[in-house]
Amino acid sequence: MNESNLEYLKKNLDFLGFGTRLNEVLESAVRRELPKFSLGISQHYTPTEFRSTASGAKDHMRFELNFSKSNDSDMFFLNNYQAVLSRHDNSAPVKQVFDLERDHRMTALQAYRLLSGYSFEKEILFRAGQENNQEPAEKRAVWLKLNLAVTDAYGNHPLHRFYPEYNFDLEKSVGKYPFYLAGEDRKEKLLKELKNGGLAELELMVDGKPLGVFVAAEPQFKTLTIYSRDMVRIPDAQIFAPGQNQSQAAQSTGQTTQSGSVSPDHKPWKGDEGIVQAPKPGR
């Protein structure tokens, strides 16, 4: 058995957010030199909207991690994993297969946030030009979001990538709304939380009164999504004063029309075609 390969796999599982609970069954499978095997693990997450309450609501994530042995050596690889989200409200489960290489080594928490419908920013390696380009790869901050409304030929939801050229300015979007932010530190914490795909809890000033809300980044429309504490979406027209709501709402929602519908010319992931590839066979 390749001990260094086994240790690498264990560290990889820990990095991806699965901890050490799979180490024993992983080592058993590797010692038996199974050509292919899958390991399962379940994790629970408390939705942000319930963290300050005693409701006990939990979302359940089930992961099936798929390994394979190299045809040319004694090394094993973690190729991909399937994540299935069962929400606390018993809505239909949502699932996705994340390829480790193609999908930028998505962690368990990041998979949970994507399947929950949220977006986050992640630094990914990017190489311009063709695959045989010898230019060194560079890291770029890219916003990621799953299109949960459709599935592709492989049963996966398309993963959309919003590159810096798309010009989603998170700080500018935050500045358009009358949030109550006590000090610059609170603003920095808010930006970090939104970039990580979190649902931020804060206060919004409406008609001169503070209103408790939840906030999520929405890079597709270059804006934020505002929810009440009951997770009901609050439209911009309800936030801004009469006479200002249409202009400010239009500005904050990027390519949306005054009625709130998406402009037919708006193609937020134009140029992203072909990036969502078919799942690769195991190594």
Is residue 161's pLDDT more than 80? yes
Average pLDDT over every residue of 78-87: 97
pLDDT on residue 170: 97
CA distance linking residue 77 with residue 258, whole number of Å: 51
H helices of the chain, in order, are 3-15, 23-31, 108-115, 170-175, 184-195, 236-239, 245-252
CA distance linking residue 255 with residue 70, whole number of Å: 48
70-81 burial string, b = 16+ CB within 10 Å, else e? eeeeebbbbbbb
* Cα 186 off chain centre by: 23
Band the pLDDT of 283: cuts 50, 70, 90.
very low
Average pLDDT over every residue of 73-79: 96
pLDDT tens, residue by residue, 15-70: 999 999 999 999 999 999 999 999 999 999 999 888 777 778 999 999 999 999 99
Lowest mean pLDDT among 17-26, 130-139, 269-278: 269-278
Percent share of the chain, pLDDT over 70: 82
pLDDT on residue 240: 85
pLDDT tens, residue by residue, 193-206: 999 999 999 999 88
Candidates 32, 21, 36, 27; CA nearest to 9 is 27
Is residue 277's pLDDT more than 70? no
pLDDT on residue 56: 82
Average pLDDT over every residue of 253-264: 36
Helix axes 3-15, 23-31, angle to 10 degrees: 150
- DSSP SS3 for 249: helix
pLDDT on residue 136: 74
pLDDT tens, residue by residue, 109-133: 999 999 999 999 999 987 665 555 5
pLDDT tens, residue by residue, 207-253: 888 999 999 999 999 999 999 999 999 999 888 864 444 444 444 43
* Cα 37 off chain centre by: 27
Band the pLDDT of 279: cuts 50, 70, 90.
very low
Band the pLDDT of 88: cuts 50, 70, 90.
very high
Q: Where are the beta strands (DSSP E) in the chain?
A: 36-45, 59-69, 76-86, 94-99, 120-126, 138-146, 159-162, 179-180, 200-206, 209-218, 223-228
pLDDT on residue 278: 35
pLDDT on residue 132: 57
Average pLDDT over every residue of 137-150: 94
